[in-house]
Amino acid sequence: MQPNDTQAAEECESEGRATSMNVLWIMADQLRWDYLGCYGARHIETPNLDWLAGRGVRFNRAYVQSPICGPSRMSYYTGRYVRSHGSTWNGFPLRVGEPTLGDHLREVGVKCALVGKTHMTPDREGMKRLGIEPESAIGALVAECGFDAFVRDDGTNHSDYPGRHAEDYELYLREQGMEGENLWEEWANTAEGPNGELRSGWLLQNAPYAARVPKEHSETAWLTTRGIEFIEAHGDRRWLCHLSYIKPHWPYLAPSPYNGMYSASDLPPVNRSEAERLSDHPLMRAWMGMRVSKSFSRDEVRSLVAPVYMGLIRELDDQLGRLFAFLEDSGRLEDTMIVFCSDHGDNMGDHWMGEKDLFFDCSVRVPLIVYTPRAEADSTRGSSTDALVEGIDLAPTFIEYFGGPSKPHILEGRSLAPLLRGQETEWRTFCVSEYDYSTRDARREIGIDQTDARLAMIFDGRWKYIHVEKMRPMLFDLESDPRELNDLGANPDFREQADRLKALHFDWSRRHHSRITRSAEDIEKMTDDREPPGILIGYRDRGELEADGLALPSHADK
């Protein structure tokens, strides 16, 4: 901790409990916005999230900066677009020196802790270049994307993360009496079939079977407990706790009773069209042709998997109920901002696709609920807004909540504070999401070089424009076609709209995003000063100099 952090922290401490403020930032993984009751879902119940929405603001148009875990999260954690932080795909390290939410919060004396998943891959090469030991205090922060890792767990047991706490869940399961070589794989990701046979969570056909792990010890329950432990341990100090769940991300396996809570008959109809299936767009064709897309396009598979996906959401909601009850009982609801969001959705067979690729709303639009205890938000409780918000808006929101500086030269998002207060405010007119498919096999099929495997979405609240390098764009009118079934990108009647959105994309592309070492205030001051002291440019003689109120730095010409 830097000296000024200690000072800031002490100042806060001395103000005592009355002004202490915390943030509990809950993230689900791969959770669709339209699978929550408060977002209008009628096929699933999420009473606890609905309760939260009733006390806070529900954002109807929250978009993530990439439909993929890693880049989306790096945007959340830096408050910067993917093109800016450069971690464009899972496992692409976040470059050393990229400022994180944790860095900004530590400056104002706030602990920024992690309980769960980040999908961060450390930039070991960069750290080595700068002589930063991964074992040092700063090295650990750099490796953990700026978070103090109370618990780090990325879900499956195969990720290459620094792992200070990576084995926590393994150890926990062992303490509960479970045995095996890889406890996550053998208990959380293995089900017991009707005849006691073991069935792997990696196979979609096994989705309906109950995970071997009982619900009390699932990843979702365990992370909830760890989150509560963190809060109990840090009570009156100012903290942000990023409670980052792994579910309802695949593998699609739920503990009893969640595995059997829903059935195929509960599912909403799949959202796809024959016209889509016949699309002439090479990218659509390639993505619909992926194995995972073909799997999820089979009704039989979706009927097996989606009910379990819903069960996992229900399980999450139940655990959040336990968490919210704890907050209420401990008085923390009075001083804790609670934010709930997701890193992206799940296509789940919609648009003939599996996984979360591309930019359909089922993937790139996420649930976002923000509750703040402050009285200034009383007028917006239980309301919703259609403002176009982005994942990168959370970091500036938190920093402002803790009284930190806004740093727009680094943070590209905008604080949601005015929206939470219900203030009239000039808001952004479009949002952006990006997708780098350079490591996707389909890239080779289409014949695209790895440097050109780039997509960008521009969405202005009605028109969704997808820039596709080397191919024609895609275009959807969400007003006339809210289900996004009709790609207008090749339709000359909509050329004008496409051109307008393309121009917005260009505008956005030109913006500064690497000029992060000089603040707006610095720049205004430099403009006032004109030149550094002692530097005099273009003066013919002393008269000209004096007319500008300047003097020579030496004894010459005096």
Task: State in angstroms the smallest separation of the CB of 103 from a copy of itself.
Answer: 6
The piece of 215-223, 390-398, 414-422, 534-542 that touches a copy of itself (CB under 8 A) is: 534-542
Q: 472-481: long-range contacts at Cβ-Cβ below 8 A with a sequence spacing of 24 or more? A: 472/281, 473/498, 473/502, 474/281, 474/283, 474/284, 475/501, 478/361
Task: State in angstroms the smallest separation of the CB of 383 from a copy of itself.
Answer: 32
Please, which of residues 375-404 interact with a copy of itself by CB under 8 A? Answer: none
CA quadruple 56, 58, 62, 67: dihedral sign? positive
495 binds a copy of itself (CB under 8 A): no
Task: State in angstroms the smallest separation of the CB of 213 from a copy of itself.
Answer: 13
Among 13, 167, 469, 477, binds a copy of itself (CB under 8 A): 469
Total number of residues that touch a copy of itself (CB under 8 A)? 110
Please, which of residues 155-214 interact with a copy of itself by CB under 8 A? Answer: 156-160, 182, 185-186, 189-191, 198-200, 202-206
The residue among 334 and 441 lying less far from a copy of itself, judged by its C-beta, is 441
DSSP codes joined into one string, 406-451: --TTT--S---HHHHTT------S-EEEEEE-TT-HHHHHHT--GG
Task: State in angstroms the smallest separation of the CB of 369 from a copy of itself.
Answer: 29
Among 56, 79, 86, 396, binds a copy of itself (CB under 8 A): 86
The residue among 212 and 464 lying less far from a copy of itself, judged by its C-beta, is 212
**Listed residue (429, 504, 508) closest to 462, CA to CA:** 429
The residue among 143 and 370 lying less far from a copy of itself, judged by its C-beta, is 143
Please, which of residues 97-126 interact with a copy of itself by CB under 8 A? Answer: 97-99, 103, 123, 125-126
Q: Please, which residues have CB within 8 angstroms of residue 365's CB and are 6 or more apart in sequence?
A: 33, 61, 62, 63, 345
The residue among 128 and 500 lying less far from a copy of itself, judged by its C-beta, is 128
Please, which of residues 538-557 interact with a copy of itself by CB under 8 A? Answer: 538-542, 544-545, 548, 552-557
Task: State in angstroms the smallest separation of the CB of 499 from a copy of itself.
Answer: 12
Triad 26, 30, 36: Cα angle to 5° = 70
**Listed residue (444, 336, 368) closest to 63, CA to CA:** 368
Task: State in angstroms the smallest separation of the CB of 532 from a copy of itself.
Answer: 6
Task: State in angstroms the smallest separation of the CB of 537 from a copy of itself.
Answer: 5
Please, which of residues 420-449 interact with a copy of itself by CB under 8 A? Answer: 436, 438-441, 443-444
The piece of 11-19, 294-302, 363-371, 480-488 that touches a copy of itself (CB under 8 A) is: 294-302
Task: State in angstroms the smallest separation of the CB of 148 from a copy of itself.
Answer: 15
Tokens of 425: 């405010």
φ, ψ (nearest 5 deg) of residue 100: -115, 165
Question: Around Cβ 201, how many Cβ atoms within 10 Å?
Answer: 23
Tokens of 62: 């929250």
Task: State in angstroms the smallest separation of the CB of 65 from a copy of itself.
Answer: 13
Site mask for a copy of itself (CB under 8 A), range 328-367, x = bound = --------------------------xx------------
Amino acid at site 293: S
Please, which of residues 124-143 interact with a copy of itself by CB under 8 A? Answer: 125-126, 128-132, 136-138, 142
**Is 363:347 a contact under the CB 8 Å cutoff?**
yes
The residue among 462 and 525 lying less far from a copy of itself, judged by its C-beta, is 525
Task: State in angstroms the smallest separation of the CB of 373 from a copy of itself.
Answer: 31
The residue among 29 and 317 lying less far from a copy of itself, judged by its C-beta, is 29
Question: In this structure, what DSSP letter does residue 269 have?
Answer: P
User: Where on the phi/psi map is residue 91: left (φ > 0), alpha (ψ -120 to 50), or beta?
Assistant: left
The residue among 419 and 455 lying less far from a copy of itself, judged by its C-beta, is 455
The piece of 34-42, 112-120, 392-400, 524-532 that touches a copy of itself (CB under 8 A) is: 524-532
249 binds a copy of itself (CB under 8 A): no
2 binds a copy of itself (CB under 8 A): yes
Integer-rounded Cα radius of gyration of the chain: 25
Coil vs helix vs strand at 175 = helix
The piece of 10-18, 39-47, 77-85, 371-379 that touches a copy of itself (CB under 8 A) is: 77-85
Among 17, 277, 500, 511, binds a copy of itself (CB under 8 A): 511
The residue among 185 and 487 lying less far from a copy of itself, judged by its C-beta, is 185
CA distances in angstroms from 385 to 53, 133, 230, 370, 389, listed in the order given: 12, 45, 32, 11, 10
Tokens 């699609």, located at residue: 252
Coil vs helix vs strand at 109 = coil
Coil vs helix vs strand at 140 = helix
State the Cα–Cα distance between residues 263 and 208, nearest whole angstrom.
9
The piece of 41-49, 92-100, 360-368, 371-379 that touches a copy of itself (CB under 8 A) is: 92-100
Please, which of residues 254-273 interact with a copy of itself by CB under 8 A? Answer: none
Among 30, 88, 118, 380, binds a copy of itself (CB under 8 A): 88
Please, which of residues 24-53 interact with a copy of itself by CB under 8 A? Answer: none
State the Cα–Cα distance between residues 302 and 296, nearest whole angstrom.
6
454 binds a copy of itself (CB under 8 A): yes
- Whether the link from the prior residue into 268 is cis, omega within 30° of 0, is no
**Is 9:109 a contact under the CB 8 Å cutoff?**
yes
Among 166, 270, 292, 485, binds a copy of itself (CB under 8 A): 292
**Listed residue (110, 118, 38) closest to 78, CA to CA:** 118
**Is 334:340 a contact under the CB 8 Å cutoff?**
no
- Whether the link from the prior residue into 251 is cis, omega within 30° of 0, is yes
The residue among 14 and 451 lying less far from a copy of itself, judged by its C-beta, is 451
Please, which of residues 300-329 interact with a copy of itself by CB under 8 A? Answer: 301
